[in-house]
Structure 1
């Protein structure tokens, strides 16, 4: 990872756009739906540090090289983070291609190397992230404290939220009926999660592009990863980064079964083919077991 992606909260924050012409207008269009205080500066004012006082981000876009360099020096004197269009050597950060769904934002960056590639990837992602997704995030934000209070244990909270993402409440939010969504969410919160855990056996042999959709989803939803040595690192990169990780030599079948009974998702990543009867032996303990191999052909 050559650059670390980060999201800056913009509510109540000041963002300055310095410059004139179409490049500056493009930056303005990028941010016009945000809750930030947008300040546009042009001409000699842009060369003064005071124009950037209190700004969290500064975008400079102008065809005049001298203007850009002078504005950059002034913004840096005001201790702002600066992006200068088409001048990567003057940038503290680059501007990604953005998929904007309100409270759900996806950003694709290439470090300034290929904006066209980032735009192409953004178009692909836009087709996969439906309108209304941001309203689901807004619903979850509305009940964030209630969920934490109701489920103080992290694994129980994850189980509830996992169910809630595919619930009738989420669908009502997606379609815009927020009153109904909130009512359904409150009802689900009162009932609690369906404590349905499982153990999933996933091939870690690779290559990663042969991993099935079901296996990639299992990796993304795992509470515990039990990983064989020698697994393909590209497959491991698909797993949740904050999931607990364990050595198979130190993790008994009984422990995995106990976690599954408690409603957790346990993913066993194998650097070998599943042993005969391995899944059946786990399933005999009364938990759901799935074998998710890579796709072949």
Structure 2
């Protein structure tokens, strides 16, 4: 990962936009969609800036001046001058999916966005809003954060009570909360790695890594594989799978058939 993806709340915030023309207009529309306030030059309280100038020297000078004032700067079509880049966006507010290439290819980011756009149902944002509204009820139903997360994960799987790709899911949140859901017992799954290249992970392995609460693995398993797991999943270095699985889903990453070099 070459950049840290973040979602910045611009509502009511001051954003500097230097330049005119189509590129500047495109950035202005983006800022306005995020409810930012646009100014043409540095102003106290501004934290980020966009520079859309055709002249290379002028763009460099404007970016350097704004950066010297403590702003993070995006220079349109000049990724080497950027502190941050703007991604291609799939908008299902409040769900937002951003696709970035670190400035390598805006066209590629756009192509990926278009593929994702057709996959996501129009009411995905409605499901997010319904879950947000149900936060207090979920905390009352599952006081322990781990139990709450596992219940939500189980509901959101394909075919689950709140499958994100099912247009009717936003209307079922109340019924899901009221239903008698049996607590799933701890379980242990094994992933047999065919290589140390994360691109060789099967769909099943990638899904399990994204769901697991605990990851048990030999020391030789590289970070590239472990990085595919949830950031909050607990990692355990071990020479063998656990005799008793931890609460939730535990994974054992098996090196069967792999040499020391993968």
Superposition TM-score tier, normalisation by shorter sequence: 0.7 to 0.9
Is contact 2:189–2:250 with CA below 8 Å preserved after alignment? yes
Unaligned runs of 5+ in 1: 274-297
What TM-score results when the alignment is normalised by the length of structure 1?
0.71
3-state SS in 2 of match to 1:15 = strand
Residues 243-267 of structure 1, C-alpha deviation per residue, up to 9 Å, x if partnerless? Answer: 11123347641x21xx3xx5x1111
Q: 1:32 to 1:201 in 2, by over 3 A?
A: same
Q: Of 207, 212, 224, which residue of structure 1 is paired with 2:202?
A: 212
Q: Of 85, 98, 103, which residue of structure 2 is paired with 1:107?
A: 98
Displacement of 1:74:
4.9
Displacement of 1:242:
1.6
CA RMSD of aligned residues (A): 3.1
Unaligned runs of 5+ in 2: 258-262
Is contact 2:141–2:177 with CA below 8 Å preserved after alignment? no
Match for residue 235 of structure 1?
225
Q: Of 151, 154, 159, which residue of structure 1 is paired with 2:150?
A: 159
Matched, 1:270 2:254: yes
3-state SS in 2 of match to 1:55 = coil
Displacement of 1:196:
4.3
Q: Of 186, 189, 203, which residue of structure 2 is paired with 1:200?
A: 189
- What is the distance in 1 between the residues matched to 2:222 and 2:119? 27
Per chain length, whose mean CA-contact separation is higher, i.e. which structure has more relative contact order (CA < 8 Å, sep 6+)? 1
Which structure shows the bigger proportion of residues in helix conformation?
1
Displacement of 1:160:
1.1
Match for residue 5 of structure 1?
5
Is contact 2:127–2:169 with CA below 8 Å preserved after alignment? no
Q: 1:84 to 1:157 in 2, by over 3 A?
A: same
Is contact 1:204–1:232 with CA below 8 Å preserved after alignment? no
Match for residue 175 of structure 1?
167
- What is the distance in 2 between the residues matched to 1:210 and 1:66? 45
Matched, 1:33 2:33: yes
